[in-house]
Amino acid sequence: MTCCPITSDVNAGICLACSYHCHEGHELVELYTKRYFRCDCGTPKFPTSNPCKLNAEKPSSNTDNKYNQNFKGKYCTCSRPYPDPEDTVEDNMIQCIICEDWYHGRHLKMDNLPADEDYAEMVCFQCTVKLPFLRNYLSDTTVRCEKETTEVDVCSVENKTDSNEDIANEENISLNSEVTCKIKEAKDCSPVSETLFLKENWRKDLCTCGSCDELYKNLKVSFLVDPEDTVIYYESQGRSKRALAPSGVQREIDALSSLDRITRTELVHEYNNLSTSLRDYLRKFAENGKVVRDEDIREFFSQLSANKKQKKDSFQYFCK
C-alpha cells in the first residue's frame, strides 16, 4: 500500500522475502495464497527509487499475473477491508478456491453455514454460475438438479477383454478404449447461483477424460486436478519444514499454528510492525551512544499506541 496506494490505478503485490528486504516498514496487506502471480517488486509498477534488492534482473512486467480487489485491501461482495473497524458483526471470512477472493459467511447467500470440520473447500455462488459442472461433486447425497439421473463411475473403460488387457500389461502399451464421461452421464445441471462446500479429497473424483480436460482448460481451471494446488497440501508442506526447526523455535511455531488463520496472520503482521518500529527507535540511541532507560521504553509504547489509534481514526474506506 505504500508503493501502490489504494487510491492509485495500479495493482501490484510482493512476495514474503521482498516484504522483509525491500519494503521493510511499509504498509502491507496480507493476501495469503494466490495463483497466477509472480512478485512485482522491481518492476515498473513500483517507484524507481525502490528497486528489488534480491533480484536486480527481474522482467519488465508480469503479463501473466492476475489481480483482484484484494490487492487494494478489499474483500467480499461488500468490498470492505479486513479487519473492518466499522463492522460490528463477528463473522469469519472464507476463501473461494476458484476466484480466491474472501467472503463473509453472511454474504454467501446461505441460511446456515456448515461447521468448519464438515468441509475442506468452498466455491462461491458467483463461481458456480461459471462452473456448473462442480455441482456434480457435492459431498452430500442430495442431487442438486431437476433431472432424474443414475450414478456412474468417474471414468469407466468399455470394450476391454481379458486377452487384450493381458497383452497391454505384457507389452506395456496403452489401450485405445472408449471413456465414459461422468459429467455428461451423471448430473448435467444448468448454471445455478449457489455456494458449494466440498469435503476433503473431492477433487480426486473429478473426471479427467479428454473432453473434461479440455473443458477445464477452456474455463482456466485446470489447477483443480493438480494435487499440489490445494491449501491442505500447501500447509502440509509448511508443517514438514517446521519439523526440521530447532526445538525452541518449534514450540513458538506450534503455539502460532494452534491459532486460526486470521488471528495468526494479524499476529504476525503486528509483530513485524512492532519489530520494525522498535528497531528504528533504538537505532537513534545507538547512533548517539545513549543508554536506553525504562522511561524511554514506556514512551515508545505510548507513542506506538497513539499512532495506531490515529491511523485507525484517519483510515479511508472505498465501497462500490
**Tens of pLDDT along 279-288?**
888 888 888 8
Contact criterion met (CB below 8 Å) for 77 and 69? no
Q: Which of 3-12, 224-233, 253-262, 304-313 has the lowest mean pLDDT?
A: 304-313
SS3 155: strand
Residue 2 DSSP symbol: -
Mean pLDDT across the chain, nearest whole number? 79
pTM of the entire predicted model: 0.64
Note the pLDDT of residue 187: 55
What dihedral do alpha carbons 280, 285, 287, 288 form, nearest 10°? 150
Note the pLDDT of residue 313: 55
Percent of the chain topping pLDDT 70: 76
Q: Per-residue pLDDT for 84 more than 80?
A: yes
Place of cell 458467483: 126
> 243 burial class (0-12, 13-18, 19+ CB within 10 angstroms)?
exposed
Cis amide linkage into residue 59, ω under 30° from 0: no
> Can you give the residue ranges of every domain in the chain?
1-74, 76-146+189-245, 248-305
pLDDT in tens, 150-164: 333 333 333 334 444
Mean pLDDT of 214-233: 92
| Angle between helix 261-288 and helix 294-313 axes, rounded to 10 deg | 130
In sequence order, the 6+-apart residues with CB closer than 8 A to the CB of 270 are none
Which residues pair with residue 181 across a beta bridge? 155
pLDDT in tens, 224-274: 999 899 988 888 887 777 666 666 666 776 777 777 777 877 787 788 788
Reported as a pLDDT band with limits 50, 70 and 90, residue 189 is low
Reported as a pLDDT band with limits 50, 70 and 90, residue 105 is very high
Mean pLDDT of 101-129: 93
Contact criterion met (CB below 8 Å) for 28 and 3? no
